[in-house]
Amino acid sequence: MEIIMEPSIMKINTLDRIVDHSLKKVPKIDLQGVKVWYDDFMAIKGIDMSVKQNTVTAFIGPSGCGKSTFLRMINRMNDYVDGFKMEGKIKIDGDNIYKKKVNVEELRKKVGMVFQKPNPFPKSIFENVAYGLKIQGIKDKDFIKERVESSLKQVALWDEVKDDLKKSGMALSGGQQQRLCIARTLAVEPSIILMDEPTSSLDPISTAKIEELIYQLKEKYTIVIITHNMQQASRISDYTAFFYLGELIEYDKTKKIFTNPEKTQTENYITGRFG
Amino acid sequence: MNNIRKNRWKDQVFKIWGIFCTLIGLVLLVVFIGDILIDGLTRINWDFITNLPSRKPENSGIYTALMGSIWILLLTTIIAFPIGVAAGIYLEEYSKKNRLSGLLEINISNLAGVPSIIYGLLGLEVFVRIMNLGASVLAGSLTLSLLILPIVIVATREAIKAVPSSIKDASYALGASKWQTIWHQILPASGGGILTGVILALSRAVGETAPLIVVGALAYVPFVPQSPLDEFSVLPIQIFNWISRPQAGFIENAAAAIIVLLAITFVMNGIAVYFRNKWQKKWK
Amino acid sequence: MQKIKELVIERALLASSLITIAVTLGIVLVLSIEAFQFFSEVSIFDFFTDTQWTPLFTEKHFGILPLLSGTLLTSFIAIAVALPIGLTISIYLSEYAPRSFRKTIKPILELLASIPTVVYGFFALIVVTPFLQQFIPSLSGFNSLSAGIVMGIMIIPYISSLSEDALHAVPRSLREASFGMGATKLQTAFKVIVPAASSGIIVSIILAISRAIGETMIVAIAAGQQPRLTLDPTVPVETITAYIVQVSLGDVQHGSLEYRTIFAAGITLFVFTFLLNTISYKIRKKYQKKYE
């Protein structure tokens, strides 16, 4: 195993290898020794990982392996779960987001999230996209209008809905709803977008559109995506992390994971022998 | 073979008995409303609505009682609605699973089962005597507010529970705070359900008699309340008073007043059902 | 700023929910303080053993038994009417009736529970008693029979609706297992579904009993105002609730012994319903866990 030693890296683990040290800057997301409990159940058993800026990282693994819990750690969505406890540090741009003083609402503006099933608010298309701005107290109508338009354009939904922005977001098709939800997330200008199986409830055509969108969004955002679809992971991601029973089994460049994984467990999962 | 035939026969007999029992409830409802309509419908006219109570049945009207009921309805809404909805929101969205939330839960379930007349005794001692409000509209409304509080709380919780958690997640993920999420997403989405529950609770309050008698509401009030501290009567008490009189004319009055009371109750129930259907459609 | 606002709101919401605790404390305190003063003047032994209740007469007796018997007698008649009919309806609606019929009939039956009780009182006194007098000439104008029957009609939906919910919640697989062995709907209902839903049914019955014991206006109007230790359903009786109404209608001085009698009667009523409600709550909680 090849390990690049550098004086600035105090902690040596297998992951150091994939951190791009040539950039000489802190990783976008840096997770250190993360452990999570729900009451007595240990969901995450100590994971270190770092994610580079402007990349797409795919989380794969069988259901219940902890990948969804792990993803939700990054925007602190587990805070409201009964019996939730955690240990370790999660740094975004070098700042620990689980420090006491951190404003969770501010954090979530920076770290957007797209969910498994499209979940538009039971409001108009316009209100859906404008919601994130309005709760920030922004009242400038022209600004909001502009932002709604540019967000809808980014997800290629603008031409389809520009004439009925007042229509309920729930009246759109599944694929359109999911793009609306992505537009809603983009409107608050996050730097990271977390996606929890965003295409699992969509038809193949809508899925293709979302995948294309993810590819474009990479230029401006850092994306972490959970997927159950191996082809999807290999198509869209730069890095892939394989989770099993609350542990990170393997994390590497996607190409490497899918062509020559280090661990037999990873290989078995990818080739469909279990999970 | 014989045994099977016997079982099938029993099955049929029970089915018929089931239909009979179900229909008997409906038949009684019809008989009952029909009888009251026959007794009272001819008595209802504009004078009956606008006349003050009187010693003579033919001159008596329900004006003061009707106005009293409207006063009670308004004040009870003002008091019970915000408190009940607030408590419901707290229990559903804020309270963690601990001893306090367990205590609140069992307590509310118990309060819902306390006989209404006991609330009357509470109101008599606390609002009428200690707070010195007298037998006023305010004392009556406060008493009825406590009575319907558990119903409003339970209805609020049910309505909030029905809002999909994905809506909450989406709001939090966009950086909304807890209260922003409740105010902008949860309450608008559960509003129909909450409204249904509140209207049903209020329709119960309009029909309540016993607690108001205990609080000291009068059977004979020759004036309409001008302020929350005035004495009052309500429709059910007026009906009770007329039923207790021997003259046939008053029985007719009672039936007529019952028609008015039932109309109010059924209209409120109808509105509640309308809101519920409208609201349920939204999630389908 | 935002944090402070959030905190203030949370505290206000918490305060609202704590009002419910204050209400319970208020009820317990008010009833026990007044009742305590009552029992400083009247021996608790007499209260539970004296067979006469005449606080408003010159010769005063303070035995709760006649009021208690009146309450239990009217409640018993009500349950005797509501239980068989209510349970049959629930089984019929859940196991036999077509879905659409069930969906229309349930809200209509629930309408029975939304009718103000003073209206039922009118019905019992003006319609049911004269009707029954055709068959039972000795029936007095005020009696526990018609009050009890009408109260029973009122609580039918309490039993039918809640029991139907419990029956409906029994998993389909149990029904199919029974049908698959050649059982009829009736056999399936009584041998499989009802036992499986028994806790829910028991809860509905307990709540109905609690409702009957606390019911006021029907008995105050149609059962009379004569405290009497009897099981005869044809004569006037007085329930605890009707007594409280009777005193409240009169002009009783605050702080007098007569005034305190309604609190002594009230605490007796409260203890009964409190026990019933607590039992039903416990059963419900246990039952919820079973199916979750």
Q: Which one of B173, B176, B188 has the shortest CB-CB distance to A77?
A: B173
CATH number of the domain that A90 lies in?
3.40.50.300
Same domain? For B13 and B125 the reply is: no
Same domain? For B25 and B82 the reply is: no
Spatial CA neighbour of C268 closest among B120, B115, B109, B112: B115
Residue A6, in any domain of the structure: no
DSSP string for residues in C23-49? HHHHHHHHHHHHHHHHHHHS-HHHHHH
Looking at residue C107, what is its pLDDT? 84
Q: Is the pLDDT of residue C149 over 50?
A: yes
A2 Cβ contact partners less than 8 Å away, ≥ 6 residues apart = A17
Best residue of C23, C125, C159, C254 to probe chain B, by most B CBs closer than 10 Å: C23
Report how many domains make up chain A: 1
Q: Angle, nearest 10°, between helix axes B137-161 and B116-123?
A: 130
Domain that holds residue A92: 14-270
Architecture of domain C65-291: Orthogonal Bundle (1.10)
DSSP-H helix ranges across chain C: 2-41, 44-49, 65-91, 99-114, 117-122, 129-133, 144-168, 172-180, 185-188, 194-196, 198-214, 217-222, 240-249, 257-291
Distance from CA of C34 to the nearest CA of B (A): 9
- Give percent of chain B above pLDDT 70: 98
Confidence of residue B59 (pLDDT cuts 50, 70, 90): confident
- Cβ <8 Å between B174 and A135: yes
Q: Residue B20, exposed/middle/buried by CB under 10 A (0-12, 13-18, 19+)?
A: middle
Confidence of residue A275 (pLDDT cuts 50, 70, 90): low
Averaged pLDDT for residues A245-252:
92
Q: Which one of B18, B177, B219 has the shortest CB-CB distance to C2?
A: B177
Averaged pLDDT for residues C118-128:
94
Whether C140 contacts C234, CB under 8 Å: yes
Same domain? For B236 and B262 the reply is: yes
Q: What are the distances in angstroms from CA B66 to CA B73, B142, B215, B237, C95? A: 10, 19, 18, 11, 44
B 71-100 residues with CB < 8 A to C: 82-84, 86-87, 89-91, 94-95
Least confident of B40-44, B179-183, B218-222, C146-150: B218-222
B167 Cβ contact partners less than 8 Å away, ≥ 6 residues apart = A119, A121, A122, B185, B186, B189
The CA-based angle A196-A108-A64, given to 5 degrees, is 30
Averaged pLDDT for residues A136-144:
92
Residues of B in contact with A77 (CB under 8 A): 169, 172-173
Spatial CA neighbour of B257 closest among B73, B76, B74, B53: B53
What does pLDDT average to over chain A? 87
Distance from CA of A199 to the nearest CA of B (A): 16
Residue B70 sits at the chain C interface (C-beta within 8 Å): no
Please name the chains neighbouring C, where neighbouring means 3+ C-beta pairs under 8 angstroms. B
Q: Which one of B164, B175, B188 has the shortest CB-CB distance to A132?
A: B175
Distance from CA of B87 to the nearest CA of A (A): 19
Confidence of residue B282 (pLDDT cuts 50, 70, 90): low
Same domain? For B268 and B144 the reply is: yes
Report how many domains make up chain B: 2
Q: Is the pLDDT of residue A7 over 50?
A: no
- CA contacts within 13 A on the Cβ side of A253: 8
What does pLDDT average to over chain B? 91
- Cβ <8 Å between A121 and B96: no
Same domain? For B38 and B52 the reply is: no
What does pLDDT average to over chain C? 91
DSSP string for residues in B215-272? HT--S---S---STTSB---HHHHHHHHHTS-SHHHHHHHHHHHHHHHHHHHHHHHHH
pLDDT in tens, C195-212: 999 999 999 999 999 999
d(CA B77, CA B83): 10
- Cβ <8 Å between B169 and A121: no
- Cβ <8 Å between B95 and C207: no
Q: Is the pLDDT of residue C292 over 60?
A: no
- Cβ <8 Å between C115 and B207: yes
C 6-35 residues with CB < 8 A to B: 6, 9-10, 12-14, 16-21, 23-24, 26-27, 30-31, 34
Same domain? For B24 and B151 the reply is: no
Q: What is the pTM of this model?
A: 0.87
Same domain? For B16 and B129 the reply is: no
Tokens at residue C291, please?
């199916």
Averaged pLDDT for residues C61-71:
93
How big is the A-B interface in CB pairs under 8 Å?
64
Q: Which one of A106, A121, A188 has the shortest CB-CB distance to B167?
A: A121
Token pair 């540090």 is at which residue? A89
What's the first-to-final CA gap in chain B, in angstroms? 48
CATH number of the domain that B238 lies in?
1.10.3720.10
Domain that holds residue B146: 47-282
Q: Is the pLDDT of residue A18 over 50?
A: no
Q: Is the pLDDT of residue A11 over 70?
A: no
Looking at residue A10, what is its pLDDT? 40
Residues of C in contact with B121 (CB under 8 A): 27, 30-31, 244, 262-263, 266
C79 Cβ contact partners less than 8 Å away, ≥ 6 residues apart = C152, C155, C205, C208, C209, C212
pLDDT in tens, A79-138: 888 889 999 999 999 899 999 888 888 999 999 999 999 999 989 999 999 999 999 989
Q: Which one of A108, A120, A136 has the shortest CB-CB distance to B173?
A: A108
- Cβ <8 Å between B97 and A82: yes
Same domain? For B17 and B97 the reply is: no
Same domain? For B90 and B184 the reply is: yes
Q: Is the pLDDT of residue A20 over 90?
A: no
Q: Is the pLDDT of residue A168 over 50?
A: yes
Residue A231, in any domain of the structure: yes
Beta strand pairing status for A56-60 and A222-226?
parallel
Torsion of CA C1, C6, C7, C11, to 10 degrees: 140
pLDDT in tens, B140-187: 999 999 999 999 999 999 999 999 999 999 999 999 999 999 999 999
ipTM for this prediction: 0.92
- Give percent of chain A above pLDDT 70: 90
Same domain? For B175 and B39 the reply is: no
pLDDT in tens, B124-144: 999 999 999 989 999 999 999
Q: DSSP state, C254?
A: T
Q: Is the pLDDT of residue A12 over 70?
A: no
Residues of B in contact with A119 (CB under 8 A): 164, 166-167, 169-170
Best residue of A82, A108, A170 to probe chain B, by most B CBs closer than 10 Å: A108
Residue A131 sits at the chain B interface (C-beta within 8 Å): yes
Q: Phi, psi at residue B120, to the nearest 5°? A: -60, -45
Looking at residue A4, what is its pLDDT? 41
pLDDT in tens, B64-87: 999 999 999 999 999 999 999 999
pLDDT in tens, B86-129: 999 999 999 887 889 899 999 999 999 999 999 999 999 999 99
Looking at residue C50, what is its pLDDT? 87
